[in-house]
Structure 1
């Protein structure tokens, strides 16, 4: 544990509408990766706090008003929460920046507005999405109800702390569930602020709870194995996702897992290179490459690979590292010393694998400069493993079939990008890739109605729009006899 600092801010668990500390006084500090000093202190929760939070969420679900409200009433509260998020945008943005080094301009202009948008979208979606009615000629009326599932455990990652937490809790709350949210221990503050704002918005106590702690042998493990939980939604590293699924299986708790990625980026010979470079830089280096969707595995047609790589390196070199609290900074440090050691470990082995660093490399402190690597063989870990840092490998290809096979030859299948001016090729290749999302001539453009998730080690299930409704509800068939016909219709 870091020593007490005079300017350390103290936050608690939010359980049953109250902010509380750990019963045994245990705590941990959130360290600003730019300054290297602790700036926030959190209670270290475990099984006891998990039990308390699940019990509070269960009471709020079983006897409280939230699941019994109409969707429009819940929408009013969620919209009020979205308003409060925007009113407190500077505080929320700065919390994510201080927790994990994200440039504050990104936090302020992207993550916080998207958090509000998630809350509004799912609040509206729950009101506006129709349910099914099944025509019958047997004198019966059949229809579907979407009932809230119950208590939802949401485990959010550290790279987009506020935004990805809202992606999980917004649909769960909109459909009438209660939630226990466990943020990553590296980035716990903004969601604690969000839980405070939820109470201010009028959300009943126990509907949104926040428990702080670690994963194994701590709050995370206790929550995922808890018998009182009805749904688990997790975003994080693939091996952790396996552990979550294993724990949930004990009680047959349904899980939604958005896991790691090794996003492929394919630049065809006919691509607009200016556009391809601009989007490729965003895909590889946004958030210092700490993005599950990062386009870190780049393939360029042999006829353009030299020119494309030259332009990519020049664009990467314009991303100057700096203080993430400075509005002009586009590249912040990595989130922690341990993560920095992991990423630089890959840099240290490039030459041994026969590759060349065209630009970039390790910087001072916890910084890693935007790095472009060429010449690596197919089985190099830099090309096969999720690094989660600002490293991109560039590999030439000759044919469409060749590159499709290369992209699909991966245990990950979260997303891919392709750049081409050939409309037929765009549709043909998009259909051939075994991934959850394909972006054509763009990156990270989201429609919240569309399914989001991956295949293979990139996850299990889909969320977004009606896909979130399916996961966070228990669909119920209702059949009403309205005529005199005694025919019961088709049997089971």
Structure 2
């Protein structure tokens, strides 16, 4: 597990960036002058400073965004808007190495993962919605010979975007691309732990030709800071948030008096149901990804693994052996599979749950809280597999959001479905079986917004994305995104 810095000369020219607000087409410091440290989680060293904004900066951003709705942005045709949005995607790919570098330094994730997944998907988000914009229609109904009814779509207005730290650029573009496609404007707040790619994205939007005031960026914290100011601002018409359920509840309460439109993608404790008739080699390969990709810091991670008793021992032996072979280390080491967790605060949280697993009667068969061999600094946790826990254990019920999974056997289809649904969350589920009828039967009984059969994380951006229960409010993707970022008016013409 020794760390070896990637020999990649082209990366030597990139440096971490100090993160300033971007308001009305220009970068600016906080009016108070306040900044905080930005820490590289792989080294625990400061790599720059982040401006801390609050109500004053959000006021400026919201005012600029509201004014921009009536400016050149509001007068663009759909094809002109599509062209500018597509250009943002082009610029992301042209700057892919720098963006991947910033993402790896900011989050601790492997550079290779950032380059191949985060940056590529971010560009594709803009390409998809640029195309979707020009092909989307609305409703029209003829009421006999009496009247014609048709729907007109218009921007929802100014949208506040509060973004998470696990997939900073990918998930921010998943919000910004449809917002711009719908003709709305944005006030973005990235996580204070991962602000750099959002800062670079603001620069690229301006370079692509987005008019001043359409895309605004305010750095800061949540309660009593920029986040809270966004949720309560009277000129912000809608708020989209990706993050934990507790924060989502607080945003809903803060936004309620102004009846803002809300879209939440919240926590998950996703089950991975493995039947004995599945292709076990394929299961192991994909389950390694669904468990430990991005250090397990993925809302859709399959953190609860349920295995049919007949293959439980075989699965556990193969899965644990493969997990032990994963390389934990420097994000810029080409061999690294698992990088650092995002912050000391989150690192301590994950370690707490690993210790709790032992207190709850679990057995840690690989991984644990010890620092990986050869690493003396950084927030690293080895891929950790826990067995022997009851379904009611906190480590089975609560979201850990790290490279920690629990494995529990089941005997019947009924028991598997009961285990899967026995949680307050309902985001994603993977079902593994070669029995087509069983696959459909189980899928229809699972309480989750996203259900995969014999795969994981396979997405078509036209499909609905979102969760049930405490995993979210609303859906994103294709027409579902447009429903949030725009409003429909019905026009009736008497014939």
Residues 1:111 and 1:263: Cα distance change in structure 2 (over 3 Å) = same
Separation of aligned partners in 1, 2:391 and 2:40: 37
In the alignment, what sits opposite 1:394? 407
* Per-residue CA distance 1:144-164 (angstroms, 9 max, x = gap): 111111000011100000000
Separation of aligned partners in 1, 2:452 and 2:472: 19
Equivalences for 1:341-360 in 2 at 5 Å? 341-360=348-367
Separation of aligned partners in 2, 1:262 and 1:192: 31
* Per-residue CA distance 1:306-343 (angstroms, 9 max, x = gap): 10011110111111111102233111011111111000
Separation of aligned partners in 1, 2:347 and 2:187: 30
Separation of aligned partners in 2, 1:172 and 1:280: 33
Confirm or deny: 8 A CA contact 1:13 1:210 kept in the other structure: yes
In the alignment, what sits opposite 2:136? 129
Confirm or deny: 8 A CA contact 1:8 1:41 kept in the other structure: no
Separation of aligned partners in 2, 1:29 and 1:133: 54
Find 2:198's aligned residue among 185, 191, 195: 191
Q: Is structure 2 residue 174 aligned with structure 1 residue 153? A: no
In the alignment, what sits opposite 2:7? none
Q: Is structure 2 residue 182 aligned with structure 1 residue 169? A: no
Residues 1:270 and 1:414: Cα distance change in structure 2 (over 3 Å) = same
Find 2:107's aligned residue among 95, 100, 103: 100
Confirm or deny: 8 A CA contact 2:16 2:105 kept in the other structure: no
Deviates more, 1:347-356 or 1:379-388: 347-356
The unaligned stretches of length 5 or more in structure 2 are: 1-14, 372-376
Q: Is structure 2 residue 313 aligned with structure 1 residue 340? A: no
Confirm or deny: 8 A CA contact 2:353 2:395 kept in the other structure: yes
Shift of 1:100: 1.1
Q: Is structure 2 residue 116 aligned with structure 1 residue 109? A: yes
Equivalences for 1:67-466 in 2 at 5 Å? 67-364=74-371, 365=377, 366-466=379-479
Shift of 1:394: 0.4
SS at match of 2:341: coil
Shift of 1:8: 6.4
* Per-residue CA distance 1:246-269 (angstroms, 9 max, x = gap): 111110001000000001000001
In the alignment, what sits opposite 1:490? none
Confirm or deny: 8 A CA contact 1:82 1:115 kept in the other structure: yes
In the alignment, what sits opposite 2:487? 474
Separation of aligned partners in 2, 1:11 and 1:263: 34
SS at match of 1:39: strand
In the alignment, what sits opposite 1:10? 18
* Per-residue CA distance 1:4-56 (angstroms, 9 max, x = gap): xxx86423100000000001110012100011111121110011111111111
In the alignment, what sits opposite 1:40? 48
Confirm or deny: 8 A CA contact 1:257 1:460 kept in the other structure: yes
Separation of aligned partners in 1, 2:488 and 2:357: 51
Deviates more, 1:157-166 or 1:359-368: 359-368
Aligned length: 475
TM-score (norm 1): 0.95
TM-score (norm 2): 0.95
* Per-residue CA distance 1:350-369 (angstroms, 9 max, x = gap): 22211101111124241111
In the alignment, what sits opposite 2:5? none
Confirm or deny: 8 A CA contact 2:298 2:401 kept in the other structure: yes
Confirm or deny: 8 A CA contact 1:154 1:234 kept in the other structure: yes
Confirm or deny: 8 A CA contact 1:30 1:39 kept in the other structure: yes
* Per-residue CA distance 1:124-144 (angstroms, 9 max, x = gap): 111101211112213422111
Structure 1: which 4+ aligned runs deviate by more than 3 Å? none
Separation of aligned partners in 1, 2:427 and 2:168: 19
SS at match of 1:250: helix
Confirm or deny: 8 A CA contact 1:105 1:328 kept in the other structure: no
The unaligned stretches of length 5 or more in structure 1 are: 1-6, 484-492
